[in-house]
Amino acid sequence: MCGVVGVLSPGQQAAPIAALGLFALQHRGQESAGIAVSDGDQLMVYKDLGLVAQVLDERRLPSLRGEMAIAHCRYSTTGSTLWENAQPAFRLGPQRAVAVGHNGNLVNTRHLLELLPGRRGRLAGSTDTELLTALLAQEPGDDLVAALLTLLPRVSGAYALVLMDDAHVIGVRDPNGFRPLCLGRLDAGWVLALETPALDIVGAHYVRDVEPGEMVAIDASGLRSHHFAEPSPKLCLFEFVYFSRPDTNLYGQSVHAARQRMGEELARQAPVHADMVMPVPESGIPAAQGFARASGIPYGDGVVKNRYIGRTFIAPTPETRAAGVRLKLNPIRENIAGKRLVVVDDSIVRGTTQLTLTRMLREAGAAEVHLRVTSPPYRWPCFYGMDTGRRPELLAADLQVGEVREYLGVDSLAYLELDRLVAATGSNAESFCTACLSGEYPVPVPDADTKLALEEETVRAPAAAAPEANVRIEP
Ligand code: AMP
């Protein structure tokens, strides 16, 4: 995951606009937040572990001056939760100073590491983004645009990037466009954002998506577009299923409406006699509405979600994850007792949520639990930026649907078929990456162990974080 925003706002401070946009993307990463600003002369980075509101607070923003900014919130897929791995990544190299915010995962980091002289000890953090930033800072060329045009063809994997030097704000999408990135217009100026609600919230109007294989470079003279690779669109299908906000538009479609259609499709594919359709909040809500509409079974709330609990998804052991689910979800007993329930959720990954939830519903007196999931069995690890663990951790990796049903202890289980899921998005199958569901990886994964590669190969170099000349870094 991860959220990114880029702003160029002539006549206005860019940092408050970028911070506001980042608030709208908080769901994409809660580990760290950061911003880089430039007044055309001095590039400054401020980042820290924590939520956007904690890091970019009202006291901090006024000191971040300039008409250009990029901002980032992080959900780690490579590298640990350390200050050094927070973004924007920054590097003052022999050629330029550059700041980078990245969503996605590169898959050829071992190869890229070979392009970095001195390799070991040259990176401040242990992420693929740090490596990319270091390579950009050393790449010969007149400016950052030229450096990117040389470097990007050597980079493979998933990247939606916002970048900045002291003169440009740049947005880039990899040739497959695994992750979204859109462009919006302010009265005077431009905004780049990972999801469209960030544009709504800063008062920018949506212009278009940055295309796969496209770089847009914005500076005082306007916006220029460069196509650096042949596009082969493969948007992550999970953006529709789970990641994106419901009020986001992807491929010109409302995600909320698409999720409702997924629920409707599921009701047609796997009907069941029941008394109430309930979502697993919040991601299951629109699909449960769709299921209820198509089946005629009343929609109701069976559990309440505590919105103030952090992620349970990557808590280290199944026991702590299960405890996290209990903290997060609590049943409304009166709505459940004696009822035959249809429970609608977007996905089963490790199965922790459903195992714990099903037990909870039974304890609260549910007569039957019929689980309906708006994506096919999740069987293959993602190497393009989803943090879902290795294959043995995936519940459905080697189990048939009947075995998953038995393990979870539900009365019936149905996963939405892939073609129905794709139909619900309003696009065609060719335009999506479905690797986690089908095992078909659009970009070969030479570094299947990418997530470890950088941590093994690099050590932290204090010198890399030293402030210099026209650059100030605040720890
Ligand atoms: P699990 O409990 O491991 O089966 O996780 C499934 C739940 O986590 C689903 O209900 C989703 O809402 C959510 N989820 C799916 N994919 C991800 C992801 N990559 N990161 C965090 N949460 C996820």
CATH of the domain at 326: 3.40.50.2020
Model pTM? Answer: 0.92
Residues 264 and 215 in one domain: no
Residues 188 and 281 in one domain: no
Instruction: Name the residue with the closest Cα to ligand 1, atom 22.
Output: 313
The rounded Å distance from CA 345 to ligand 1 centre is 10
Residues 228 and 369 in one domain: no
**For residue 447, what pLDDT is reported?**
59
**For residue 471, what pLDDT is reported?**
36
Q: 452 falls in which pLDDT band (50, 70, 90)? A: very low
On whether residue 31 sits in a domain, the answer given is yes
Residues 394 and 274 in one domain: yes
Q: Tell me how far apart the alpha carbons of residues 328 and 54 are, in angstroms, rounded to a whole number.
A: 22
Residues 260 and 356 in one domain: yes
Mean pLDDT, the chain, integer? 90
On whether residue 229 sits in a domain, the answer given is yes
Residues 76 and 117 in one domain: yes
**For residue 467, what pLDDT is reported?**
30
Q: Could you check whether the bond before residue 88 is cis, i.e. omega within 30 degrees of 0?
A: yes
Residues 219 and 313 in one domain: no
Tell me: the pLDDT tens digits for 206-215?
Answer: 999 999 999 9
Q: Could you please report the per-residue DSSP string of 254-279? A: EHHHHHHHHHHHHHHHS----SEEEE
Q: Is 68 in the pocket of ligand 1 (CB under 6 A)?
A: no
Question: Looking at the 3D structure of the chain, how many domains does it have?
Answer: 2
Q: Tell me how far apart the alpha carbons of residues 409 and 352 are, in angstroms, rounded to a whole number.
A: 12
**For residue 311, what pLDDT is reported?**
63
How much of the chain exceeds pLDDT 90, in percent?
78
Q: 387 falls in which pLDDT band (50, 70, 90)? A: confident
On whether residue 411 sits in a domain, the answer given is yes
Q: Is 458 in the pocket of ligand 1 (CB under 6 A)?
A: no
**For residue 402, what pLDDT is reported?**
98
b (16+ CB within 10 A) / e for 287-322? bbbbbbebbebebbbbbebeeeeeebbbbeeeeebb
On whether residue 145 sits in a domain, the answer given is yes
Residues 201 and 270 in one domain: no
Q: Is 345 in the pocket of ligand 1 (CB under 6 A)?
A: yes
Residues 257 and 229 in one domain: no
How much of the chain exceeds pLDDT 70, in percent?
91
**Residue, of 251 and 75, whose pLDDT is higher:** 251
Residues 340 and 225 in one domain: no
On whether residue 453 sits in a domain, the answer given is no
Q: Is 347 in the pocket of ligand 1 (CB under 6 A)?
A: yes
Instruction: Name the residue with the closest Cα to ligand 1, atom 23.
Output: 313
**For residue 326, what pLDDT is reported?**
87
Q: Are 376 and 418 in contact (CB under 8 A)?
A: yes
Residues 137 and 168 in one domain: yes
* Phi, psi angle pair for 161, to nearest 5°: -120, 145
Task: Show the domain range for 32.
Answer: 3-234
What's the CATH code of the domain at 83? 3.60.20.10
The three-state secondary structure class of 80 is coil
The rounded Å distance from CA 237 to ligand 1 centre is 14
On whether residue 467 sits in a domain, the answer given is no
Q: Could you please report the per-residue DSSP string of 139-157? A: --SSSHHHHHHHHGGG--B
Question: Residue 314 carries which side chain, given as an amino acid letter?
Answer: I
Instruction: From 191, 145, 154, 220, select the one nearest 24 (Cα to Cα).
Output: 191
On whether residue 397 sits in a domain, the answer given is yes
Q: Is 129 in the pocket of ligand 1 (CB under 6 A)?
A: no
Report CA dihedral (162, 158, 415, 426) to the nearest 10 degrees: 60
Instruction: Name the residue with the closest Cα to ligand 1, atom 5.
Output: 349
Instruction: From 65, 169, 19, 2, select the one nearest 472 (Cα to Cα).
Output: 65
Instruction: Name the residue with the closest Cα to ligand 1, atom 21.
Output: 313
Instruction: Name the residue with the closest Cα to ligand 1, atom 10.
Output: 347
Residues 230 and 263 in one domain: no
Tell me: the pLDDT tens digits for 154-183?
Answer: 999 999 999 999 999 999 999 999 999 999
Please give the number of the atom of ligand 1 that sits closest to the Cα of 353.
2
Which residues belong to the active site?
2
The rounded Å distance from CA 141 to ligand 1 centre is 43
On whether residue 456 sits in a domain, the answer given is no
Average pLDDT over residues 76-90: 82
For residue 467, the tally of other CB atoms under 10 A from its CB is 12
Using the structure block, give the residue that is written with the tokens 């462009």.
183
